[in-house]
Structure 1
Amino acid sequence: MGSVVFRKRQTELWSRLGWAVIRAIYDGLPDFQVCRLEGMGFGLFLRLEELAPDVALIQALKERWDPECHAFLFPWGHMVPTLEDVVRITGLRVDGQAVTGTTYTSYQEPVERLLGLEVRGERSSLVHQTELQASLGVASARRQTGEGQAEHMERMTDDARAVMAEEEGEAADRDLRWFLTLVIGKLVLGTKGDPVGCRCLPLLEDLSSVGNYAWGAALLAHLFDSLGTSSRETGVAGFFPLLQVWAYYHLPSLGHGVARRRSAVPLLQRWRFCRDERSLWRQVTMIHDALDTTPFGHVQWTPYVGESDAAQPWVERGRPYFGRDIWLHCFNTVVPLHHRLVARTLGLHQAAVEFPSRQRSWEWPGRSFRRIQQVTDWMVRVREQLDDWERRGTEVVSEATSDEDYFRAYARKYGAQVYKGSRRSLDLEGRITSLEGILHSTIQQRDDLQAVVDQLRAELDGARQMVGGASSSREDPGRSVLEGQLAAAVTRAEDAFVQLREREQELRTAMARMTTLETEMAELRLRPEAAEVARWRQEAEAAARWQQEAAEATRWRQEAEEAARLRAEAGDLRTQLGEERHRSDMLRSEMRGLERALELVGRSRSVTSRSGIPSGSAGHYLTGSSGWRRNEEEERRRRERAPEGSETGPRVMAPPSPRPPEGTGESG
């Protein structure tokens, strides 16, 4: 239970260690060790029963934590757990020496010397949880198949009892240091991970002085430090049941806690939580909505009135530290408890105090000394804050007669930051919150004055009965004067009561008017937003049209380029077609020439056969005919290569005449 982690897929809060293991080991300790733990002030704390975690409530509270003033921000003002809450809910002592000392970059030497274990790294203050548990006899904390909860606890208790030293001595001291390291490192000052912190180990060297330290105050400081981490981090390190039960007492209208044992102490044992099966996000949203709309009068500022402190001596020991502004110490974590912000927990009216701010220097409230890695002696480093603890801080007093000034200052400081739900999106400047606070303060004054009026009337009636009539008043003038004074006081109180009733009505009317005005302002703010949305829509439509036109233009350009390419291909095809036609014409001409040549050859052979003339002239003709065709083809290519109108280039011999040379005998 030393740390909690919010799982993304499950609405459960998972403790890295769990209460069961520590309780089982505690039940396995020898009687003399139990007595030693009682003397150290851990007995009540270790006998607490495990409380089912209220994940949504803890997450909602974490989201409302203000790290500047170390307090929760609600519409009705600041709220913060105090040392009285710690001692009443957990039973841990809040009086004594501050939990501080020297912190080191590595704890290997004291861990080896006092525990016989090793730290996780060279610069580390963590030891492995499994090794620490194994040293105490619980090698595995997992429940075996078919094993019930009671059987599981009994098995772990028997395992722990089997390895514990039965008599006092060095072995028993080492057993007790192992157990205290586990309790303090995982419950009181728990971390989010599995490893166990061992910064407390130097304070455990002398076991006789362990009970002198204010471990409850260190628990509260560690919890404040964990709540102050980034809101994006899920989970809370430290003893989260304190926050849970604190909310059950102070915010009963949420209805999350169910009372079970009305007389049990410490108070944590009086409550249980019923699991909600809705999603974690839905639960957190519903809690924020409920907190945003909770009537101011439903907040319990003094829930412990009527508690019998006779059965809780640990409360009496811590009472000198109640109701005080004080610095809390937990080694390198030093944080302020601003009790003056919650004076109403002391039955006082809340005065308009100066709110803490991070812009102050570290000597002033609002600064935490975290993550300083070098060796540091905190008794020297924060001497002023340590002196403040030893002086028991500063008592909180308030001379305010109402909370009005505080509510006005609170609204100016935080405005709409106090709303985290989905219902209160208006009131950006906190006007409605301020009026609600002033109205609540006026109602309180009215109720107080009503009680005074009733008391004065009762005294006046008693005085009149004592006077016994006009004759008696003449006999005893003192009683008559007393009666007159009481009557005048009753009249003045009644007049003041009437004025408060009138002011209450005026405030209610003003708050209703302010709510209506805020709604109208929101509507007016929405109108230009609607016009702006319309303009954006028009611009978006114009941009869409432009994009469409640009796409069409691109398509047209692509089509034009495609048409030009097709035209070029068509021209090439026409050129190729012309060349093919020319070739076909050349072939036809050649075929005709061949046919005429063959005809001439046939004729020449017939003439030669009649006249005896040699047939060489026919071959000469064929040769001349093929030469003519070659010359014509070269002339065509030359013209294609030469520029238009050029007359240069070699002269080509004219083709031979188709007529045969003379003397061939063809004419005859």
Structure 2
Amino acid sequence: MKVDNELITALIERWRPETHTFHLPIGEATITLEDVQAIWGLRADGRVFTGRDYHDNFPDWTSKCRDLLGWIPDTSTETKQGGLLMTALINQTRMPLGDDLPMYVYIQRARIHALILLGGLILPDTTGCKVPFMWLNGLGDPEEVKNISWGSAALAYLYHYLCEASMDKRKELGGPMMLLQLWAWERMPTLRPAFIGPVVHEPYTPCGARWKGTTQIGNAPRHSVEHYRDQISLIRPGQFIWTPYAHCILPDYCNDVTGCSLCETYLDAKERRPFRQK
């Protein structure tokens, strides 16, 4: 799905780092752990995922790639500045796997897919073309991986890059901007693009899946920064959906009310201050 850069720009102009909220005509609103859980199906509760926790002072990344991914990358063409290139990871997924192989081989391939999702969608940096080596340390034990709070990691990353962009500290934007775009479509119908075909939520799937159809994003002048600024400034109370997921039949992992409303996690990437969302 294409990121609507003009929409993202208009939203960034409404972001206030002091409160981590968007200042809108109908009041303050922000993307929360509930949104991340409902849209992408990423768990909110669980073990905190941070770069510091998975950083090694003197790592042997060649051995880690061999053991965890079943592949030793070429340091001259498949790595860059402390990370694996996305193209190299994608190329690895194109190599066929046979049947009846040892289970660890399929787990290694699953880790490669997980790294692609992390670096390309959930936790992308400003380059969007590489995945830090240190994330490999978080994928070592398959049983531990499913207990990580991926939702809070994605939200912290999004908050961080929104703050940086709103204060004009960065020219290149990173973070899960697709998540922000889907949140805006869920909450503010006047900002949605024209879709080819109806937008229908299939029961027991994350809400983000219903936006997978082809859209008319990028057709000027409707999809310009000026257009979105005007639409946001004209939003009235009845045009903001406060409970967009109320009528959706979601799977259990998208509907853990206790997990997304009472969990304790870190949402300040720099100072690592505990954040309790209620």
TM-score by length of 2: 0.79
Q: 1:128 and 2:66 equivalent?
A: no
Partner of 1:54: 4
Q: 1:179 aligns with which of 108, 113, 134?
A: 113
1:256-315 Cα distance to aligned partner (Å, 9 max, x none): 3644224352112222432342169x7111111121122233221122223334xx1113
The 5-angstrom pairing of residues 170-319 of structure 1 reads 170-193=104-127, 194-231=129-166, 232=168, 233-234=170-171, 236-256=173-193, 258=195, 259-264=198-203, 265-271=205-211, 272=213, 273-278=215-220, 283-309=224-250, 312-316=251-255, 318-319=256-257
Q: 1:114 and 2:65 equivalent?
A: yes
Deviation at 1:198, TM superposition (A): 3.0
Contact map agreement 1:74 1:291 (CA 8 A) in 2: yes
Q: 2:254 is aligned with what amino acid?
A: V
After superposition, the Cα gap between the structure-2 partners of 1:105 and 1:228, relative to the gap in structure 1 and judged at 3 Å, is: farther
Contact map agreement 1:125 1:197 (CA 8 A) in 2: yes
Q: Structure 2: how far apart are the matches of 1:229 and 1:274?
A: 29
The 5-angstrom pairing of residues 79-118 of structure 1 reads 79-100=29-50, 102-104=53-55, 108-115=59-66, 116-117=72-73, 118=75
Contact map agreement 2:152 2:265 (CA 8 A) in 1: yes
Find the residue that maps to 1:196 and give its secondary structure: strand
The 5-angstrom pairing of residues 604-615 of structure 1 reads none
Q: Structure 2: how far apart are the matches of 1:236 and 1:257?
A: 25
Find the residue that maps to 2:60 and give its secondary structure: helix
Contact map agreement 2:86 2:119 (CA 8 A) in 1: no
Q: Structure 1: how far apart are the matches of 2:210 and 2:122?
A: 20
After superposition, the Cα gap between the structure-2 partners of 1:255 and 1:131, relative to the gap in structure 1 and judged at 3 Å, is: closer
Q: Structure 2: how far apart are the matches of 1:235 and 1:107?
A: 30
Partner of 2:69: none
For structure 2, list consecutive stretches of 5 or more residues without a partner in the other structure: 67-71
Contact map agreement 1:251 1:300 (CA 8 A) in 2: yes
Q: 2:216 is aligned with what amino acid?
A: C
1:568-624 Cα distance to aligned partner (Å, 9 max, x none): xxxxxxxxxxxxxxxxxxxxxxxxxxxxxxxxxxxxxxxxxxxxxxxxxxxxxxxxx
1:216-255 Cα distance to aligned partner (Å, 9 max, x none): 2211111111212234445542332221221112111334
Q: 1:369 and 2:240 equivalent?
A: no
Contact map agreement 1:114 1:177 (CA 8 A) in 2: no
Q: Structure 2: how far apart are the matches of 1:133 and 1:286?
A: 37
Q: 1:253 is aligned with what amino acid?
A: T
Contact map agreement 2:221 2:227 (CA 8 A) in 1: no
Q: Structure 2: how far apart are the matches of 1:175 and 1:298?
A: 44
Find the residue that maps to 1:303 and give its secondary structure: coil
Contact map agreement 1:59 1:235 (CA 8 A) in 2: no
Q: 2:38 is aligned with what amino acid?
A: R
Q: 2:26 is aligned with what amino acid?
A: W
Q: Structure 2: how far apart are the matches of 1:166 and 1:279?
A: 55
Q: Structure 1: how far apart are the matches of 2:58 and 2:33?
A: 30
Q: Which has the larger radius of gyration?
A: 1
Structure 1 moving runs of 4+ over 6 Å: none
CA RMSD of aligned residues (A): 3.0
After superposition, the Cα gap between the structure-2 partners of 1:94 and 1:277, relative to the gap in structure 1 and judged at 3 Å, is: same
Deviation at 1:90, TM superposition (A): 1.0
Identify which range, 261-270 or 61-70, moves more after superposition. 261-270
1:37-67 Cα distance to aligned partner (Å, 9 max, x none): xxxxxxxxxxxxxx33322212211222212
Q: Structure 2: how far apart are the matches of 1:164 and 1:195?
A: 28
Find the residue that maps to 2:37 and give its secondary structure: helix
Q: 1:113 is aligned with what amino acid?
A: K
Find the residue that maps to 1:78 and give its secondary structure: strand
Q: Structure 2: how far apart are the matches of 1:77 and 1:131?
A: 45
Contact map agreement 1:164 1:172 (CA 8 A) in 2: no
Q: 1:57 is aligned with what amino acid?
A: L
1:350-380 Cα distance to aligned partner (Å, 9 max, x none): xxxxxxxxxxxxxxxxxx417xxxxxxxxxx
Partner of 1:656: none
The 5-angstrom pairing of residues 126-525 of structure 1 reads 126-134=83-91, 136-137=92-93, 159-161=94-96, 163=97, 166-193=100-127, 194-231=129-166, 232=168, 233-234=170-171, 236-256=173-193, 258=195, 259-264=198-203, 265-271=205-211, 272=213, 273-278=215-220, 283-309=224-250, 312-316=251-255, 318-323=256-261, 328-329=265-266, 334-335=267-268, 368-369=269-270, 382=272, 385=274, 393=276, 395=278
Q: Structure 1: how far apart are the matches of 2:246 and 2:220?
A: 35
Q: Structure 2: how far apart are the matches of 1:189 and 1:164?
A: 31
Q: 2:120 is aligned with what amino acid?
A: K
Find the residue that maps to 1:131 and give its secondary structure: helix
After superposition, the Cα gap between the structure-2 partners of 1:202 and 1:274, relative to the gap in structure 1 and judged at 3 Å, is: same
After superposition, the Cα gap between the structure-2 partners of 1:52 and 1:98, relative to the gap in structure 1 and judged at 3 Å, is: same
Q: 1:269 is aligned with what amino acid?
A: A
Q: 1:77 and 2:27 equivalent?
A: yes
Deviation at 1:169, TM superposition (A): 4.6
Q: 1:319 is aligned with what amino acid?
A: V
For structure 1, list consecutive stretches of 5 or more residues without a partner in the other structure: 1-50, 138-158, 336-367, 371-381, 396-668
The 5-angstrom pairing of residues 528-543 of structure 1 reads none
Count, aligned residues: 261
